[in-house]
Amino acid sequence: MWVVGTLMEIVIRTDYGAISDEAFRIVEGEVARRPALVVGLATGRTPLGLYERWAASKRSFKRARFFNLDEFVGLGPEHAGSFHRTLRERLLAPLRVPPRNVFLLRGDVKDPDKAAAAYEKVLRAAGGIDLQILGVGRNGHIGFNEPGSSLGSRTRTKTLTDETRAAHAEAFGSMDRVPRFAITMGIGTILEARYVVLLASGEEKAQVVRRMIEGPVTAEVPGSALQLHPRATAVLDEAAASALARRDYWKWVAENKWRVGQ
Ligand code: GLP
Please, which contacts does 174-180 make with residues 24 or more away whose CB atoms are closer than 8 Å? 177/81, 178/72, 178/81, 179/72, 179/73, 179/74, 179/75, 179/107, 180/73
pLDDT band at 7 (very low <50, low <70, confident <90, very high): low
262, part of any domain = no
In a domain, 200, yes or no: yes
Residue 172 lies in a domain: yes
Tell me whether residue 106 is in a domain.
yes
Which CATH number do you get for residue 180?
Answer: 3.40.50.1360
What average pLDDT does the segment 58-84 reach? 94
Which residue among the candidates 84, 141, 168, 229 is catalytic per the annotation?
A: 141
Q: Is 144 in the pocket of ligand 1 (CB under 6 A)?
A: yes
Does 15 participate in catalysis according to the annotation?
no
CA of residue 135 to ligand 1 center, whole Å: 6
pTM above 0.85, yes or no: yes
Please count the structural domains in the chain. Answer: 1
The answer to whether residue 2 sits within a structural domain is: no
230 occurs within a structural domain: yes
Task: List, for residues 136-171, the tens digit of each pLDDT value.
Answer: 999 999 999 999 999 999 999 999 999 999 999 999
pLDDT in tens, 18-70: 999 999 999 999 999 999 999 999 999 999 999 999 999 988 898 999 999 99
Structure confidence by residue, pLDDT tens digits, 199-236: 999 999 999 999 999 999 999 999 999 999 999 999 99
In short, whether 69's Cβ falls inside 6 Å of ligand 1 is: yes
Domain span at 97: 9-256
